[in-house]
Structures are given as C-alpha cells and as structure tokens.
Amino acid sequence: MPQKQYGNAAVDVDAEGFMTNQAQWTREVAVAIAREEGIAELTPAHWKVIEFMQKDFKETGQAPTIRKLNKTGVMGTKELYELFPGGPAKKAAKIAGLKKPEGCV
Amino acid sequence: MEEKKITKVSIVISKGGLDGVYPGLIMANGARMEGIEANLFFTFFGLDAIIKKRMGKIKIATVGNPGMHMPSLLGILPGFSAMATAMMKKTMDKLDIPPVPEFIEMVADAGCKLYACKATVDMFKLKKEDFCPQVDSIINVGAFYDMAAGGHIIFT
C-alpha cells in the first residue's frame, strides 16, 4: 500500500492520495494535505467543514455531499467553493482523511 | 502516459421533462466538483428548467417514454405522471439530488454559468424577466460557440 510522508507522520493512502487509515489522521496531517491541495491555511471555517465531514462519515460511512453541508447549515455552496477551490467535496474529504466521495452530486 | 485532463465543458440541455434536464445538470455540477469550468446552455424545451413559472413543475413523461417500462396506455391515466414524478423525486432526494430549482441554484453557486438560447426565447416570446435570476444572459448560437471555445461541448 502506498504511503505518504507528512512532516513526521507516514500515512497510508490510496492511488489518488486519499487516506486509508483514519487512525493516522491528525490536525498536522490535515494542514499538510491542505497545503498540497493549494490551501495555504486552514481557517476556523475550514475546520468547521472538516469536523462535520468526519462526524458524518462516522455515522454514515460516506463523505457527505455538498447538498448535505448546505441543508445541515454547515456551509453554503458558494462559500464551500471559495474555501476549497477546485472541488470542495473531494478536497475537504481528502483533508479530513476520508475516502474519496462516491456519489455523483 | 496520463491523459490530458478536461478543463472546460459547455453542456446543452435541449429536452424538457425530468429525464431531459437532470443529466445535463448532474454533468455540469459534477464538472464543477472536479474543478472543471462549466457552462450550461438551455434551448428548446430544456428552457423549462430556468423559467421561473415552470422550473418547479417539471415532470417525468409517462407517455411515449420507452424508459418507463410500461404500456403508454397506463401513462395517460390522470395523475400518473405526477405520481411517477413524486416517486422519483423521493428517491433522488435520498441521494441528495436536489429538485430542479434548488439544483439550478446549487450549480450556479458552484460557479457554472447559465445561458438561455436566443432563438427559442424569440420563438416562445419569452423575456429575461421570465427566467430565474441565475441565468446570466440570453445568447445566440454564435455567442455560445465563442463561450465554449477551448472546451468540450456536450449535447443532451
């Protein structure tokens, strides 16, 4: 299984760089993945999304859709695209240490 | 060798009815989710999806639609189309596929640009005010090709 080195931490990832072992996730790892994805700094708004995604993933086994983030009042679509430019659902899931979202929306 | 990534798509929605408008909406939204630049061009009955009065009432065609897997004769029963639409909407909602008006808002918020086809607008005697606010402008086919330059065009 491929591994990636983020600072002192070595984490297991899939072919596209999504973490495969959630236990290896730390906030430091998240910051490093975010940088790799072109997000220089994780703001409180980023963390709000990341933490909700992790909580929802625990409950459902799936990364939440953008619509769920809207409907639950976590964050609007526009803001999500501003926070995670170039694909919020995928990028936020990656930073949160979750597997790649499977749905089409 | 890695294939060159798609960076821009312009999607034409030309058909009305749920099965006419959803594929294009899903493809446009999916493009934005992948960081791909996306434009939506609504033409002919596809315009229903962005007409304020119509966008919330789009149904699945139960007559003359072989995809329904049932005799068309059943489809003409009063309320049948409404029932089939309600069932489908319920399933879609569970999959987080939003109803048309919400989907239009979502895809626009995601940064997709929406355009209405001038020829159809003239033909149906529509005005800019008839469209939802997410519609950027009414453009002719030449302007559509200009806007689509450098990307792929998908016709649905």
Chain B closest-CA separation from residue A42 CA (Å): 19
Among B34, B96, B109, the residue with its CB nearest the CB of A103 is: B96
Write the CATH number for B74: 3.40.1260.10
Q: Is residue B3 part of a domain?
A: no
From B19, B99, B25, select the one nearest B11 (Cα to Cα): B25
Q: Is residue B36 part of a domain?
A: yes
The structural domains of chain A, with segments of one domain joined by +, span: 3-95
Contacts of A68 in chain B (CB under 8 A): 96
Among A65, A67, A87, the residue with its CB nearest the CB of B35 is: A87
Q: How confident is the model at residue B1 (pLDDT cuts 50, 70, 90)?
A: low
Which of B109, B113, B134 is best to mutate for the A interface (most A CBs within 10 A)? B109
Tell me the whole-structure pTM to 2 decimals.
Answer: 0.91
Q: Do B34 and A104 touch (CB under 8 A)?
A: no
For residues A50 and A30, the answer to whether their CB atoms sit within 8 Å is yes
What phi, psi does B23 have (nearest 5°)?
-55, -45
Rg over alpha carbons for chain B, rounded to the nearest Å, is 16
Question: What distance in Å separates the CA atoms of residue A22 and residue A50, rounded to the nearest whole number?
Answer: 13
For residues B139 and B118, the answer to whether their CB atoms sit within 8 Å is yes
- Identify the domain containing residue B142 by its residue range: 10-155
ipTM: 0.89
Q: Is residue B2 part of a domain?
A: no
Domains identified in chain B, total number:
1
The predicted-structure confidence for A53-87, as pLDDT tens digits, reads as follows 999 999 999 999 999 999 999 999 999 999 999 89
Q: Is residue B4 part of a domain?
A: no
Contacts of A76 in chain B (CB under 8 A): 109
From B43, B23, B37, select the one nearest B149 (Cα to Cα): B37
B92 shares contact with chain A (CB less than 8 Å): no
For residues A45 and A95, the answer to whether their CB atoms sit within 8 Å is no
The predicted-structure confidence for B28-79, as pLDDT tens digits, reads as follows 999 999 999 999 999 999 999 999 999 999 998 888 888 888 888 888 888 8
Q: Do A67 and B96 touch (CB under 8 A)?
A: yes
Work out whether strand A3-6 and strand A9-12 pair parallel, antiparallel, or are unpaired: antiparallel
The size of the A-B interface in CB pairs under 8 A is 42
